[in-house]
Structure 1
Amino acid sequence: MTAQNPAQNPARDPARDPVADPTAEPAPLLEVRDLAVAFSTMSGPVQAVHEASLTLRAGRALAIVGESGSGKSTTAMSVIGLLPGNGRVTGGSVRFAGQELVGLDEQRMRRIRGRQIGLVPQDPMSNLNPVTTVGQQVAETLLVHGMATRQDVHEKVVAALAAAGLPEPARRAKQYPHEFSGGMRQRALIAIGLACRPRLLIADEPTSALDVTVQRTILDQIERMTEEIGTSVLLITHDLGLAAERAQDIVVMHRGRIVEAGPSAQVLEDPQHDYTRRLVQAAPSVAAARVARQAASPGATAVAGRGAPGPAGPVPAAAEKPAAPEAPPLVVIEGLTKVFKGRLGQADFTAVKDVSLTVPRGRTVAIVGESGSGKTTTARMLLKLYEPTEGSIRFDGQDVVGLRGRELAAFRQRVQPIFQDPYSSLNPMFTIGRILEEPLSTYRRGTRKERQERVKWLLEEVALPPSMLNRYPNELSGGQRQRVAIARALALQPELIVCDEPVSALDVLVQKQILDLLGRLQDEFGLSYLFISHDLAVVRLISDEVCVMKDGEVVEAAESEEVFTNPRHPYTRQLLASIPGNELRVGA
């Protein structure tokens, strides 16, 4: 197959065309030609996009895939004129509905944004105003663009939130972003992006924080808009299954260049470029994941036995060797319940109800379920970030709930988190080097020189170059920031790592590196993981045991293979059936 531009592909489903004549090629809505984008840095200009060209026709969906830093989001943000202050378009053309957007003044660009081109950004927390209710933020978009009046805006806000899959939309409209889970915040952004029914929707990782059932709800909604009013979708994603299932055409980017383009099924079934083949081979699959995990035995790893450099000190004796099966579990949770008190007369909310689970030493227990099911709340109680209303948590035989002072400080060195949102969990005022050194200096690990050596090792372990040390989080891509967060969690050589969606922001190549790294560290040091994820293919790849949560309760818990091959609860079967692209055939 010769890689072809989506604009040159005549094959399409006539039923999806917004034009009256099903045999006529719809006019291009978006045309990008020879786009070049550069960023100004202290060391000189950095070319982020090189002569990128793509065409998106009315009523169709085009996915841009590639690893973090490949130029996907930069290309999309160039279209809507939202590059960072140090970024600029240095060449090429961007035409939307026949109008040139490159060089358009800000006032005219604002008339296009929101009303004609909607945006669903990648980061749900930094793109929502923390001091304004979610409903007010949706209402603002509707009012500014004349899509609602003061009289009917509330009704339209509730409808927009409901369309985005938020439960109890009328109640949620009165809440603030900090009262939402990560996935619920993402749905609020999707509601804002779709509120004005734009002609083009730029969706930058629109479902990266969502569980598979809500993914399907959101993507079905986007697809309905495509069919009803001819909205085109420019989808930025690292999920190849999602891209293949939801977009007719795919553009593959690597190091700022488009290396392959064509119909989705053709690109994934018969990739021509080496980089595309690597992406396809690295994509996790529910069917193949267990085979891959079994192949990665401790004796087979190329770096088995390789430990961290000296500055962090020796690995604790309890973690030097994977424990025998009869050893007592590292974590025992029994009857855990968390009730959040309602504010201003609202009813109390039970987020977690009578949850019991164990985390064996040297093993991985995964918690899966929809956003708002209680996964993250359970993890935060284990981390001592929330106090439980009822129940007990024991870590290595010690009561966690009653820990205070020095005992609490010692516990937190042995248990480290990887949070879901890499944007808000990294201090924007610190360099990457300082972020990684902070836990070592806080707990007085090693000398300054030893800590610096440890930081370099951590960067290497998460596949980041030493040049990152003096950069700030806002200079990194989403995937790079998440790798920094993972490196920070490894700094103190913990015994238990609580992973809250640790690879949700990563492309498949880096995702595989991180999962391989977590597996190798577990093999070498007997680490235990509590792994929270909505990506069931990733869960099967890394987990030994799985707990399925729904509405704050555990509805199914068993060995990973049992859950995936013989799910007993209807909700578990629903989760497995909702995986995007699960039935697609991909090949090298």
Structure 2
Amino acid sequence: MDPKHDDGALGAGSHAAAPEAAPTAGTDPAGVGSAEMPAPGAPLLEIRDLDVEFRTQQGTVKAVEGASLTLPAGGTLAIVGESGSGKSTTAMAAIGLLPGNGRVTGGSVKFAGEELVGLSDAKMRRIRGRRIGLVPQDPMSNLNPVTRVGQQIGETLLTHGLATKKDVGAKVVEVMERAGIPEPARRAKQYPHELSGGLRQRVLIAIGLACRPQLLIADEPTSALDVTVQQVILDQIDEMTRELGSSVLLITHDLGLAAERAQQLVVMHRGRVVESGDARAILEDPQHAYTRSLVAAAPSVAAARLLPEAFDPALSALKEDDAAALSTVALAKKDLTPLVEIRDLTKVYPVRGHDDFTAAKDVSLKIPRGKTVSIVGESGSGKTTTARMLLKLIEPTSGEITFEGKDVLGMKGEDLKDFRQRVQAVFQDPFSSLNPSFTVGRIIEEPLQTYKRGNAKERRARVLELMEQVALPSHFHRRYPAELSGGQRQRVAIARALALNPELIVCDEPVSALDVLVQDQILTLLRRLQDELGLSYLFISHDLAVVRLISDYVCVMKDGEVVEAASSEEVFTNPRHPYTRRLLASIPGNELGIAVEADGEHV
């Protein structure tokens, strides 16, 4: 279907000033090469009628058909769409980074007036990194695990002649500081596994911006980051693009982020551009049916909870000014025995040569039966540490955990075996949490085999029943994880977690890497399963809009401590702690109709 607006009209709305003349490489590490930047508003990247196909064992697959877009110098354009829509393929085709079985079969890609389709590998290598930077999505698969991060950033500077071996160390620290990495000199000596997810993503951003390129392609650059870090990262990208007059091609499934950060928007579906034009105009009045479905599926902190139930007045917001009340949830109703109770849970890690690190401090909360309690907070706030202590994956330094009144920390033998069956987990990345050499059927059946549930025929029937529960076709039981989409893999992980009929499922960022349509499906699935099976959830997330949809109660964590806990309704409509207000204020596209103050300053 034709786009809503002519793609050639996508040049309006530039926000950058004209850059100074580019210095010569070798004299200034900020040099961008000999090519001149087009005037602000003039086309920098022009894609016309692009066709991309992949050769597979099943034949040729057309991944992109007739895609067109124009990105002006100094502007930001966002491409949105679900997984497999062709948005990343379009960007990778433009810079010659398609996998070996992919090729451009038609169309044109012009960068600063120069045709890139058909350009030699040698010439493309001089453009990539120096004039076009790339920030990929997954830092763990894009960073070398056996090389210090400083060396990886330095390699980019050395390759493009923007530093010498003598001064590369100082230049690396400069770049890391510009990317918002704290203690850059110390962090430069660390390996990727020693950094948090947010810091690893900042390293990728530092590499992408190291040469101060004219165009930055940011492929889901903040999808795994909490809202405050996300805001810092995007603010830094905005600052650099304003300083240099650079352009940003932003690939994202976050519609709020697209509306907030991009002037122009391109919506892709099944390899085609279905709508394009002014970002806010499209999101406020989408014309194409697919765009309307994306907007409808996008979570919002102003939205009602999924399948809302009437809140029990006795379990509603904790409004009293009692510090103890903010350390637990669901205290009001005496006859509601909690399934799980955590009291004063603390985890301290000894650090050689430094002070001990306290990952969680005096954490207390309760999880009522059949309800969802969410823990939210930035990376490093202690939320995943708390969840792992509940799962007995790590031992706490002090504190208590009870499950149906029984001491979890002291469980051994049959008691521990029973606990393991009744408490299951769904992790963030289904690709790494599923055995790639097992079929879907074997993955789901594994817990049944481990705990000797039924015979082979009964287990097979149970597998098919579980697949039906999570809306997976029965013939998928022969497939492997690599043959599934991200949403399908997460459904397999949920089915596996349900295999032993648990009472509590710990969901650690289960939808953070999924696009909005699949995210909406998974959240609706979790809520439906809760209603049907009476499940309780401990839901870990940095996405407050998702938490708003799924939660009965919310605990907000900061620096290892619970700073606020109340019903979901109360936290989102009447946040009490300044940190909670700051989290809410950081949400891209936040349309809450309440005044929010962070640290005493009106936002």
The TM-score bracket by the shorter chain reads 0.7 to 0.9
1:227-284 per-position Cα deviation (integer Å, ceiling 9, x unaligned):
1112211111111110011011111111121111111011011111111111111111
Select 1:294's aligned residue among 301, 308, 311.
308
Larger Rg: 2
| Identity across matched positions, percent | 74
- Equivalent AA in structure 1 for residue 62 of structure 2: Q
Select 2:426's aligned residue among 418, 421, 433.
418
Q: CA deviation at 1:453?
A: 4.8
1:51-76 per-position Cα deviation (integer Å, ceiling 9, x unaligned):
21112121111111111221222222
Equivalent-residue separation in structure 1 for 2:43 and 2:131 (angstroms):
15
Equivalent-residue separation in structure 2 for 1:27 and 1:464 (angstroms):
48
Question: 66-75 or 490-499: which moved more?
Answer: 490-499
Q: CA deviation at 1:331?
A: 1.4
- Equivalent AA in structure 1 for residue 271 of structure 2: G
> What SS is found at the alignment partner of 2:587?
coil
Residues 342, 365 of structure 2: 8 Å contact kept:
yes
Superposition map of 1:193-208 within 5 A = 193-208=208-223
Question: RMSD of the TM alignment (CA)?
Answer: 2.9
2:93 pairs with 1:92: no
Partner residue in 1 for 2:364:
356
Equivalent-residue separation in structure 1 for 2:284 and 2:18 (angstroms):
25
Equivalent-residue separation in structure 1 for 2:310 and 2:266 (angstroms):
32
Partner residue in 2 for 1:539:
547
Partner residue in 1 for 2:330:
none
- Equivalent AA in structure 2 for residue 56 of structure 1: L
Residues 482, 506 of structure 1: 8 Å contact kept:
no
> What SS is found at the alignment partner of 1:289?
coil
Partner residue in 2 for 1:162:
177
Residues 6, 249 of structure 1: 8 Å contact kept:
no
2:396 pairs with 1:388: yes
Residues 40, 245 of structure 2: 8 Å contact kept:
no
Equivalent-residue separation in structure 2 for 1:458 and 1:35 (angstroms):
42
> What SS is found at the alignment partner of 1:294?
coil
Partner residue in 2 for 1:310:
none
- Equivalent AA in structure 2 for residue 294 of structure 1: P
- Equivalent AA in structure 1 for residue 550 of structure 2: I
2:335 pairs with 1:334: no
1:430-450 per-position Cα deviation (integer Å, ceiling 9, x unaligned):
444443333333333444455
**Given the superposition, is the C-alpha separation of residues 456 and 190 from structure 1 closer, same or farther in structure 2, using an over 3 Å criterion?**
farther
Equivalent-residue separation in structure 2 for 1:289 and 1:565 (angstroms):
11
Equivalent-residue separation in structure 2 for 1:16 and 1:431 (angstroms):
54
Partner residue in 2 for 1:7:
8
Equivalent-residue separation in structure 1 for 2:273 and 2:3 (angstroms):
14
Equivalent-residue separation in structure 1 for 2:147 and 2:66 (angstroms):
41
- Listed as ranges, the gaps of 5+ residues in structure 1 are 298-323
- Listed as ranges, the gaps of 5+ residues in structure 2 are 22-37, 312-332, 594-603
Partner residue in 2 for 1:282:
297
Q: How many residues align?
A: 555
Select 1:517's aligned residue among 484, 501, 525.
525
Moved over 6 A (4+): none
Q: CA deviation at 1:530?
A: 0.9
Equivalent-residue separation in structure 1 for 2:100 and 2:447 (angstroms):
31
Partner residue in 2 for 1:437:
445
Equivalent-residue separation in structure 1 for 2:187 and 2:386 (angstroms):
22
- Equivalent AA in structure 2 for residue 425 of structure 1: S
TM-score (norm: length of structure 2) = 0.85
> What SS is found at the alignment partner of 1:417?
strand
Residues 499, 529 of structure 1: 8 Å contact kept:
yes
Question: 266-275 or 75-84: which moved more?
Answer: 75-84
Question: 207-216 or 464-473: which moved more?
Answer: 464-473
**Given the superposition, is the C-alpha separation of residues 394 and 472 from structure 1 closer, same or farther in structure 2, using an over 3 Å criterion?**
same
Superposition map of 1:181-580 within 5 A = 181-290=196-305, 292-294=306-308, 326-343=335-352, 345-465=353-473, 468-580=476-588
TM-score (norm: length of structure 1) = 0.87
Superposition map of 1:175-186 within 5 A = 175-186=190-201
Q: CA deviation at 1:520?
A: 0.9
1:16-41 per-position Cα deviation (integer Å, ceiling 9, x unaligned):
56699xx9773322222222222333
> What SS is found at the alignment partner of 1:36?
strand
Equivalent-residue separation in structure 2 for 1:79 and 1:64 (angstroms):
14
Partner residue in 1 for 2:24:
none
Q: CA deviation at 1:15?
A: 5.3
